[in-house]
Amino acid sequence: MFTGILGLFHLFCIFFYVGLFAIGGGLVAATFMQQVLVEKYGVISQEKFYSMLAISESTPGPIGINLATYCGCEVYGPVGGVITTFGEVLPSLIIIMLIAKFFADFQKKPLVQAAFTGLRPATGGMVLVALANVFLITILNVEAFKASGQVADLVQIKQTVFYVIALAVLFFVKKIHPVFIVAAGAVFGVLFL
């Protein structure tokens, strides 16, 4: 499906769409990417996508852009990474340039204020969907549970133990920076998963 110049253009269009409608940050963009790349087109597997999401969250920079770059590189190499990153960023650049041009008139419009008021709960809901998807794929093993019917197969023990320890450290050890927890998660993933 994604071969040649047309495939590269199609991938650009997908990330342009994601960049255009992902209001609310990287996890919202990740939800869109998961729906389009995994569910709709099957470009990458669900497991691969969530591994890419974990790496994108661990690296410096915006999650959505990191994930777009990673997906592009995975499918088309460095050229794909540049194209998908450009596709992800271009809508924001266009919108910001338009807003800057008409900013004074734009912010006072009641319709614009109402739109932003309506976007707040929708964005929160999309972030919760992304959080639930990450939780389901990392902590719960729904596929193994469906196959065996055993409750013991539902929870992925290693990930759950690490998650509980990381939360305990974040809540009770006040002098540790969260970046060390993220780094520990990356090391854990490489060594144990």
Give mean pLDDT, residues 120-143.
Answer: 82
Give start and end residues of each alpha helix (H) in the chain.
Answer: 4-21, 26-33, 46-58, 63-76, 78-101, 103-107, 110-138, 142-148, 157-172, 178-192
Average pLDDT over every residue of 124-148: 82
pLDDT band with cut points at 50, 70 and 90 for residue 174? confident
Of the pLDDT bands very low, low, confident and very high (cuts 50, 70, 90), residue 42 is: confident
- Among candidates 72, 90, 82, which has minimal Cα distance to 7? 72
Residue 90 has pLDDT above 90, yes or no: yes
In percent, how much of the chain has pLDDT > 70?
95
Average pLDDT value over all residues in the chain: 84
What are the backbone dihedrals phi and psi of residue 139, each rounded to the nearest 5 degrees, phi first?
-95, -45
With a cut of 90, say whether residue 83 has pLDDT above it.
yes
Residue 40 is given by DSSP the state I
* Full-model pTM: 0.60
Q: Which pLDDT tens digit goes with each residue over 27-38?
A: 778 888 888 888
Long-range contacts of 135-141 (CB under 8 A, 24+ apart): 137/46, 137/47, 137/50, 138/50, 138/54, 138/163, 139/163
- Say whether pLDDT at 1 is over 70: no
Q: What is the pLDDT of residue 100?
A: 80
In the predicted structure, residue 2 carries a pLDDT above the cut 60: no
pLDDT on residue 3: 59
| Residue 4: per-residue pLDDT | 64
- Asked if 164 and 181 count as a contact pair (C-beta separation under 8 A), the reply is no
Question: What pLDDT is recorded for position 30?
Answer: 82
